[in-house]
Amino acid sequence: MPITDKGYEYQMPDGIRNQLTKGFLELLHLGVSNWYKNKHDMTDEEFDYMNFYVYTEGNGIWSDSFEEVCSNMNKQWLAEYFKHLPWYESDLFCGEVGEMMIKLGVIKEGEQRDISE
């Protein structure tokens, strides 16, 4: 991964991107959102990108859910790929996964709320 004047650059390989189907991403969203629903008083509407995923991508719950979906779909190699990314590539990978979730209609992008409200 090159470091440029724009910072770190990462482009998800097509072979990896092709594995992240809408069904895969729906299961990832379900795993992440169910964990938070069980631990916190959250509604489905709160799980948009700008107000939730941008803050939780790559955290332990997100990573555990990603690994679980990989295991359930017999794609352990994909979980290994993710686990072995350096932190900066991992962050960018998670961002691309979030963008794919929006593009495929798994989650909404949302509008960032003012945290003072």
What mean pLDDT is predicted for residues 54-62? 91
Q: 96 with 13: CB under 8 angstroms?
A: no
Q: What is the Cα–Cα distance from 4 to 75, expressed in whole angstroms?
A: 32
Q: What is the pLDDT of residues 41-51, one digit of tens each?
A: 888 888 899 98
Give the tokens for residue 93: 């990978």
Mean pLDDT computed over every residue of the chain = 90
Q: What is the Cα–Cα distance from 18 to 39, expressed in whole angstroms?
A: 32
Q: Is the pLDDT of residue 104 over 90?
A: yes
Query: Band of the pLDDT at 115, cuts 50, 70, 90?
Result: low
